Structure 1
Amino acid sequence: MLHGFGVAFAFEARKAVASRVMVSITVLLLAGVAAIALGMLLAAASGQEQVLAKLGPIGELDGWARLVGVVVQVTAAGGLGAFGVALSWMFGREFADGTVSALFALPVSRPTIALAKLTVFGVWAAGVAVLLTVVVAVLGFAMGFGATDAAGVVELARVPALAALTALIAVPAAWAATIGRGLLPGIGATVVIMVVAQVLAVSELGTWIPIVAPALWAIAPASVPTAALLTVPSVPLVFGALCALAWSRLQLDW
């Protein structure tokens, strides 16, 4: 079984590395977050009231704290969208390109292929989290914030943590792309998660809802208990299992 998973992982990893889609998503996410954050910071520095109103308490901060505060706000929504699209492509493309039938001929079970895809996604998402942190650090130095002190390190640590947690709550997109037999159902599921999270974020139980907790924690760490963040892995565990089950039931006459 481990050998079969290793073969499937290597196969899916090669497809992801060679894909222009994954590269494009990575570049657009990193450049988009940096550009939006820079624009908002410059606007806030110039005293634009509309921008300061949108930033709320973050607008009263400065230096690394303000930078990270803006970045996590953008990443919470933009990152979820990017990760959801990536998963939709990884799973939905097999149906859109008509390559899913070829998977039946492979000496590896289809659930194993699904789990390999999710693992490749996880490795890619971890890399994106690291790159995003580097981009934010470079942006901070470029804006003249100076050497990162201990407080600055703590602020920056929120960036990769949020990116990783956001990737976890995007996993339902893989399941939706599978049962919907294409990219659009996965992308649609991602949009639904984003909308539902926005609505539930203002509820009293928002901090304990797995799809909401990461963003609330990144914006205001003290407002979210550690126990609430521990519920986040339940999303990929449940939907990862559902995804593997769906792949085990695929039929050639889909």
Structure 2
Amino acid sequence: MNNLLTAFWIENLKVRKSKMIWITLAAFTVAPLMGGFFMFILKNPELAERSGLVGEKAQILGEANWPAYFSMLAQIIAVGGILIFGFVTSWIFGREYADRTLKDLLALPYHRSIIVIAKFLAVFIATLLLSGHVIILGILIGFFIGLPGWSANILGNGLYVLLITILLTIALSTPAAFFACFGRGYLAPLGFVIFMVVVAQIIAAIGYGHYFPWAVPSLYSGVVGDEPVLPFGSLLVVLGTSLAGIAATFGWWLWADHQ
């Protein structure tokens, strides 16, 4: 346990000291700002037209209230989170190859599984904190623009949907860890994540999104306008994909030739 805590502390130190996490934080900050901007336009369409923010013939659909805003935040995390969380995972697992520090890790008197667990824990904490940043900033922006419909019940339902969406999205980052190890760097996992996002849009468009793991978070968040419902089969698909990514990563670290 002491070895795991030490390895986890080191991985978190790497994340805190890197520029990657701050660049990622800045990129993710754009999401609630854009969501708040869209809600502001929905809430004040006449003001937006007079100020030139939208054209006179632009059709703005939707409602400006807290339930719609929470749904929008969930959709932002579901779609953008796959890319952002995949990037964080790629960096945490791929930097050892890019910086040529893998030999230093392998020289430590720890079992290799300890290093993998520590890295996955660092991914979970980092992505969870990024998601919390988006939620807190989003709520503050919602209060700033004066969205109607606030209540404790709406807050509870909104946070519940957000939490499930976040956990689903984080779970899908584990295959990126394997591709970072298999590709020995950043490019392979980033290419994999982008490809999965594109394929998810296609499969969701033809009506089979509930069976494709990378489409499940966005469908659950209500991107197609449905109520947030997570079929048991979709949950199993996401869980199976996440466990497969974890198992493949452990297998690579334990049995691959790292010379």
Paired with 2:62 and 2:14, the residues of 1 have a C-alpha distance of 45
- Counterpart of 1:197 in structure 2 is 200
Paired with 2:67 and 2:211, the residues of 1 have a C-alpha distance of 25
Matched, 1:161 2:160: no
Shift of 1:146: 5.2
Shift of 1:157: 3.1
On the 8 A contact 1:209/1:228 being kept in 2, the answer is no
Q: Structure 1: which amino acid aligns with 2:214?
A: I
On the 8 A contact 1:65/1:155 being kept in 2, the answer is yes
On the 8 A contact 2:33/2:138 being kept in 1, the answer is no
Shift of 1:92: 0.9
- Counterpart of 2:108 in structure 1 is 106
Q: TM-score, normalised by structure 2?
A: 0.85
Paired with 1:42 and 1:88, the residues of 2 have a C-alpha distance of 35
Q: What's the secondary structure of 2:205's corresponding residue?
A: coil
- Counterpart of 2:181 in structure 1 is 178
Q: What's the secondary structure of 1:108's corresponding residue?
A: coil
- Counterpart of 1:227 in structure 2 is 232
Paired with 1:221 and 1:118, the residues of 2 have a C-alpha distance of 32
Residues 205 and 146 of structure 1, relative CA distance in 2, 3 Å threshold: closer
**What does the per-residue CA deviation read over 1:181-225, in whole Å, with 9 as the maximum and x for residues that have no partner?**
011111111101111211111233322332211110111563634
Paired with 2:242 and 2:232, the residues of 1 have a C-alpha distance of 17
- Counterpart of 1:14 in structure 2 is 13
Between stretches 80-89 and 203-212, larger displacement belongs to 203-212
Q: Which of residues 241, 246, 249 in structure 2 aligns to 1:243? A: 249
Q: Structure 1: which amino acid aligns with 2:8?
A: F
- Counterpart of 1:218 in structure 2 is 221
Q: Structure 2 regions of 5+ residues with no counterpart?
A: 47-53
- Counterpart of 1:55 in structure 2 is none
Q: Structure 2: which amino acid aligns with 1:211?
A: W
- Counterpart of 1:137 in structure 2 is 139
Shift of 1:15: 1.4
**What does the per-residue CA deviation read over 1:6-39, in whole Å, with 9 as the maximum and x for residues that have no partner?**
332222122122222123212321x111222123
Q: Structure 2: which amino acid aligns with 1:236?
A: S
Q: TM-score, normalised by structure 1?
A: 0.86
Between stretches 182-191 and 43-52, larger displacement belongs to 43-52
**What does the per-residue CA deviation read over 1:95-148, in whole Å, with 9 as the maximum and x for residues that have no partner?**
111101111210112232122101111122222222222112111111112573
On the 8 A contact 1:36/1:74 being kept in 2, the answer is no
Matched, 1:81 2:79: no
Between stretches 152-161 and 42-51, larger displacement belongs to 42-51
Q: Structure 1: which amino acid aligns with 2:13?
A: R
- Counterpart of 2:70 in structure 1 is 68
Residues 252 and 234 of structure 1, relative CA distance in 2, 3 Å threshold: closer
Residues 187 and 207 of structure 1, relative CA distance in 2, 3 Å threshold: same
Paired with 2:228 and 2:204, the residues of 1 have a C-alpha distance of 12
Paired with 1:117 and 1:37, the residues of 2 have a C-alpha distance of 32
Identity value in percent: 24
The count of residues paired between Structure 1 and Structure 2 equals 245
RMSD value, Cα: 2.3
Q: What's the secondary structure of 2:206's corresponding residue?
A: coil
Paired with 1:22 and 1:51, the residues of 2 have a C-alpha distance of 37
Paired with 2:71 and 2:58, the residues of 1 have a C-alpha distance of 17
**What does the per-residue CA deviation read over 1:24-65, in whole Å, with 9 as the maximum and x for residues that have no partner?**
212321x1112221232234442756563xxxxxx3333112
Paired with 1:135 and 1:229, the residues of 2 have a C-alpha distance of 30
Q: Which of residues 15, 31, 38 in structure 2 aligns to 1:33? A: 31
Shift of 1:233: 2.3
Paired with 1:152 and 1:134, the residues of 2 have a C-alpha distance of 12
